[in-house]
Amino acid sequence: MFATLSDRLADTFKNLRGKGRLSEADIDATAREIRIALLEADVALPVVKDFVAAVKERARGEEVSQALNPAQQVIKIVDEELVTILGGETRRLRYAKTGPTVVMLAGLQGAGKTTLAAKLALWLKDQGKSPLLVACDLQRPNAVQQLQVNGDKVGVPVFAPEAGNGVGDPVGVAKASVEEAKRKLHDVVIVDTAGRLGVDAEMMSQAAAIRDAVQPDEVLFVVDAMIGQDALTTAQAFLDGVGYDGVVLTKLDGDARGGAALSIRQVTGKPVMFASSGEKMTDFDVFHPDRMASRILDMGDVMTLIEQAEKAFDQEQALKAAQKLSGQGGEFTLDDFLEQMQQVKKLGSMTKILKMLPGAGQIREQLENFDEREIDRIEAIIRSMTPAERHNPKIIDGSRRARIAKGSGRTVSDVNGLVDRFFEARKMMMQMAKGGGMPGMPGMPGMPGMPVMPGMGGPGGGKRAKAKQAQKAKGKGGKRRSGNPAKAAEEAAAAKEKAAQQKANPFGFAADEDVDYEAAAANLDLPKDFSKFLK
């Protein structure tokens, strides 16, 4: 959603790199580019004005003028100001002290309230709560049935005494749901109300009546992040007509420009609490302003990735794999590799996972073209192997590879590629597990016994490795050693004797020469009486 904005900001910051000091013209040009980027992203004009003014004021201050790297300091300022307009701190759901917590959803028709109600219920269920879904959308055809289907998907009961389709009293259903929750010991009630087409006074009054009837602890306004500037008009109308405590953004995975997400907090003063970014029931999470700002600036969202990994990964399996890679629990096999891949699949789309990594915007085109079925193909190849072959891939010869290829529906070259990549990956992971660093990467410790790998080292990494190997083949002084052992020993003894005779001193004279140190010091124009330190 924020791809265009991220690209424009990245180009803007690229022009600042390498400058030791920023002039007024540099600051004005940067502010102008940021303003254009935000307006193109459909951010509300008042928000753009306040944002750019804050960035310019701070960029002219001491924190940039005295910084060692002004460009990085400007990026830091933009990041902090983005966090501010997105809400600053993460807003958590408030729970009632006594009785069930009532959460009411309101918003336009088509914003995704019914689907979001089930996503929220699943999220609460994972938090250890016992939610109850309530079907109070009795206007839209099949809205009740949709909520019941979604409730079945996430394993959450649905209170739906009325069939809906334009018939029934939503206020009465809402009142009855609270009593039902108390009777069946549900601690959270999620009320799905009817949407409306635009600002419909009748439906707005119905939402206000439901609010007055159940006195919700949280009223959440559900807004489609793809509708642009109109989201702000609708948000303000709901704030005046019904009132709400927080905002939920849906369809964040869309291709719209995303200005609503950056504007709604600043315009309404209400925090964004949750974000929905896909069709799966698990594509839902708490909205973190700092993490969203990092994504916009292409700095990744590693914290969310870690949290998802902690939920999806089996700690016991991960520990066993780590022990094998460190050489303590046997050899890492293709069975272990398959288990790790299956756990990665639990995280969801590989494209979404990779987009959370810093710098993902630079390879956006490759990520968009990434084939999600590649993991399934690898799994098919591994499952076509016998247990002995998975345990020891070294025994996979030509005939075995042909059989595996036929069984998995792949080619022999695919099988060859998988086996070769497995051996390379296992070797690298084992050395990383032992040494704690990536070989040849700038700023990271090299691995014991790990050669410099092509494409992973700094500039000239491959040349250094070749030079080192060539140096090993030579004797001292760069002379090549003789292949004759007797002659090589004779050469080594002669070199040792010569080195002993030519013991170095500060002036490069041989040890047995009679040296006038005072005269030599005078010739070097050293400080007075310095010669005594040379004896």
The binding site for GTP comprises 107-114, 192-196, 250-253
For the stretch 63-67, contacts whose Cβ atoms lie closer than 8 Å and that sit 24 or more positions apart, written own/partner, are 64/22, 65/21, 65/22
Beta-carbon count within 10 A of 94 CB: 12
Cα-based distances in Å from 465 to 206, 318, 390, 436, 445: 75, 34, 33, 21, 16
User: Rounded to whole angstroms, how far apart are CA atoms 74 and 59?
Assistant: 6
Beta-carbon count within 10 A of 335 CB: 13
Ramachandran angles phi, psi of 272, nearest 5°: -80, 125
User: Rounded to whole angstroms, how far apart are CA atoms 416 and 438?
Assistant: 26
Ramachandran angles phi, psi of 260, nearest 5°: -60, -40
User: Rounded to whole angstroms, how far apart are CA atoms 167 and 43?
Assistant: 40
* Binding annotation: 107-114, 192-196, 250-253
User: Rounded to whole angstroms, how far apart are CA atoms 67 and 126?
Assistant: 45
Residue 255: closest CA among 11, 42, 35, 82: 42
User: Rounded to whole angstroms, how far apart are CA atoms 192 and 115?
Assistant: 10
Residue 454: closest CA among 445, 462, 443: 462
> What's the full length of the chain, in residues?
535
What is the DSSP-derived secondary structure letter of residue 223? E
Q: What angle do CA 473, 475, 481 make, to 5 degrees?
A: 75
Beta-carbon count within 10 A of 12 CB: 20
Contacts of 31 (CB under 8 A, 6+ apart): 52, 55, 56, 59
User: Rounded to whole angstroms, how far apart are CA atoms 129 and 190?
Assistant: 12
Residue 33: closest CA among 50, 57, 16, 46: 16
Question: Bridge partners of 275?
Answer: 249, 285
Helix axes 24-40, 45-59, angle to 10 degrees: 160
What ranges in 350-484 are assigned the alpha helix state H?
350-355, 364-368, 374-383, 387-391, 398-408, 412-435, 461-472
Query: Hey, which bits of 461-502 come out as E strands?
Result: none
Please name the amino acid found at residue 46: P
